[in-house]
Amino acid sequence: MSQTRTRTRRFGLYGETSRSLLTFGGRILVHHDKAQMEYLHPGAKVVEVPPNIPGEQCMSIREHPQHCSVQWTADGDIAGREQFRAR
């Protein structure tokens, strides 16, 4: 029996000046929902993080001190996420 592994898409902030994914403490800031990332960082370029970057090199944006006032659900979404439905 073969097991298929579901890959979760991760999105990060792309630094226009640095031309790389933005990091905090040496780890790439990521989130699983592009619309939520764009909402938290208006005007920033949000890109998909390449799948070959290991999870150990990433940090969820909910762990970033700047987002300590954001209310999160147990699933890691912003509370009130219905505002992010596809249009």
Best CA proximity match to 61, nearest among 38, 81, 84: 38
Domain layout of the chain by residue ranges: 11-84
pLDDT band at 66 (very low <50, low <70, confident <90, very high): confident
Looking at the predicted structure, is the pLDDT value of residue 1 above 50?
Answer: no
H or E segment and range at residue 47: strand 45-48
Distance spanning both ends of the chain, measured CA to CA: 39
pLDDT tens digits along 11-38: 999 998 999 999 999 999 999 989 989 9
pLDDT band at 87 (very low <50, low <70, confident <90, very high): very low
When the pLDDT of each residue in the chain is averaged and rounded to a whole number, the result is: 83
